[in-house]
Chains A and B, each alone.
Chain A
Amino acid sequence: MEDQLYALTTIFTEVYYWITVVFMFLIHVGFCMYEVGASRRKNMMHTLMKNTMVIPLVTVTFFYFGWYIYFGWINGIPGIIGADAMPYGLENNWSQPWSPLMGATLNSEGDGYWSHINGVFWAAFLLFSWTAASIVSGAVIERIRSGAFWILAVVIGSFTWIIDAAWGWSPDGWMVRVLGYHDAYASGVIHAIAGGFALGVLVVLGPRIGKFAADGTPRNIVPHNPWLVTVGLFLIYTGFWGFYVACNIPILDVGAMAGMEGSFFSTTNIYLTPTTTSAITFNFLMSLSGGLMMAYLISKGDAFWTYSGGLAGVIAASSGNDLYHPIQAMFIAALGVIVVYKMHFWVERKFKIDDAVGAVAVHGYGGFFGVVAAGFMLWGYPSSFTEGYAAINPLGQFIGAIIMFFVLGFVPAYIVSKILNGMGLLRIPERIELAGLDLSEFHDRYLDESEVAAAEEEEGRARGII
């Protein structure tokens, strides 16, 4: 790049996304700690490895086809929905796995912008992919087979969520154009879809042994380490800062898009409409606070639900947190938490759904609520700079939430889980579930520890030390 200002803008954007990736890595660390803490001792290693291996498997598949879907499928699914589902066709050369721009390049067609941005932008989306898969991971602990989960993780992490991003989280997606869909910080495109996906798996997977009494009353399976759960949730909160700013484009000249004669530089959301980092900082913290305060009251001070409520509050306000007033964000978060809390226990009792960490509620119902709430709060706002696009409206948001939660979340998960179950690959056999999923590895570790402790004592006595 020969122009210094252009280079500064480009490299600033490059570093900006790189930092978001580092922050978002903490979300995955947090989910791992949370899940391990929430599991029982006999299942810790299995739980940890199940979510750890999401990292490589979703990464490579997002490289192979996820990134291409984002740019390629904005109008539907090629050959199935949408006549021009691939508007960029094979010219979409910054996201094909064999494209030079998917590697180290200095310029492409005489311009350095995508050479610098492609990798970090891809990684920012990839970390959303991990999050989507990780949300599902927590719900299904202590009885799902790792191999089955990893296939399901690729389905949501590199396929279905990125389809919803192409449709509803892109300046040109058909949902934005036709429905006026607006979901700035991914209430629907990450949380509702992941919650719906988790529910689809759980329906087929079934509850853990002992979760429900004979009369259907749910039992509380207590986390083996509540402190690890706490630290995990704090890390998820921390990573969410990265998640929020990764949903923005840090600096863009929107003047031309607005029809101005001169330039107007602004931060924008993913739809390229303006917001500010200050606005989303206000709203993130106020919605977190609204969620925590309401969750504390409604759960009567239960620590697990208070922490989860903070997360649910942010998720419930995320669709419109680029535009809300902070106090609006706080009240929407509080309302969302009531929905999440009540729905969780109603669904658990009514349908015997064993969601080990409340992921379906916090992410699924919270995200669904968030998308619908934005339809009312932002009714009539333009969804885009582009003339002819539908304005944001309640019906469009409601249809959008259905697409996220059910069409791209629940349904694919249910179908793939049914297939895996039919092949005998979905669930751990009962005897092993009772003994513990850590299998012989954990058993042997205890025997080793016991043997070494006995040997230490024997040698210590022989030397007269103890």
Chain B
Amino acid sequence: MSTGLTTWNQNLAEVSEIYPFVGTEMILAIAAIASWIIWHLIQIKMENKLIAEEDAMYQDKDKLNAARHLANAESISEVAKAHAEGY
């Protein structure tokens, strides 16, 4: 059983590919391009879901204001202050 190279003891000037499974390059390329497209599709689906959830949550103006206070806080004490003020 060998996935490719079986010896280094040969005329190296005539050795070309040294990676395993020579001959499968086209299949690998097709699988790789498909995986790239699928990645974008999954990512957009995930992002759509997250954005829809957040946007729905921020329909509540109190939550939106609370988020704005927390997001712009520069320290934990500011976060604590925002909490104390009811945000």
Contact = CB atoms under 8 A, between A and B. Distances in A.
B19 A431 contact: no
B76 A100 contact: no
A42 B72 contact: yes
Interface stretch (A104-112, A237-245, A329-337): A104-112
A40 B8 CA distance: 57
Nearest to B26: A98
A34 B55 CA distance: 28
A453 B73 CA distance: 15
A110 B15 CA distance: 8
Nearest to A420: B44
A106 B76 contact: no
A443 B73 CA distance: 10
A377 interface: no
Contacts, number: 116
Interface string B2-38: 0000000000111111110010011011001100100
Contact of B76 (A2, A61, A425, A450): A450
A429 B26 contact: no
A439 B54 contact: yes
Contact of A147 (B33, B40, B67): B40
B16 to A, nearest CB: 5
A99 interface: yes
A60 interface: yes
Contacts of B79: 446-447, 449-450
Given A98-B25, A147-B44, A429-B55, A442 B71 contact: yes
Nearest to B61: A431
B73 A103 contact: no
A389 B39 CA distance: 44
Contacts of A15: none
A438 interface: yes
Interface residues of A, number: 47
A432 B64 CA distance: 8
A64 B28 CA distance: 11
A130 B17 CA distance: 29
A211 to B, nearest CB: 17
A151 B47 CA distance: 14
Contact of A108 (B16, B39, B44, B51): B16
Interface string A430-447: 011011101110110011
Main SS at interface, chain A = helix
Nearest to A435: B67
B51 A432 contact: yes
B18 A431 contact: no
Interface string B50-79: 110011001100001001101111101001
A226 interface: no
B71 A435 contact: yes
Contacts of B80: 450, 453-454
A431 B18 CA distance: 55
Contact of A64 (B36, B44, B54): B36
A145 B47 contact: yes
Contacts of A57: 36, 39
A439 B55 CA distance: 10
11 contacts: A63-B32, A103-B17, A104-B18, A105-B18, A150-B43, A435-B54, A435-B68, A435-B71, A450-B79, A450-B83, A453-B80
Interface of B: 12-19, 22, 25-26, 28-29, 32-33, 36, 39-40, 43-44, 47, 50-51, 54-55, 58-59, 64, 67-68, 70-74, 76, 79-80, 83
Interface of A: 1-2, 40-42, 57, 60-61, 63-64, 97-100, 102-108, 110, 115, 145-147, 150-151, 425, 428-429, 431-432, 434-436, 438-440, 442-443, 446-447, 449-450, 453-454
Given A60-B32, A97-B29, 4 more contacts: A63-B32, A115-B16, A436-B71, A450-B79
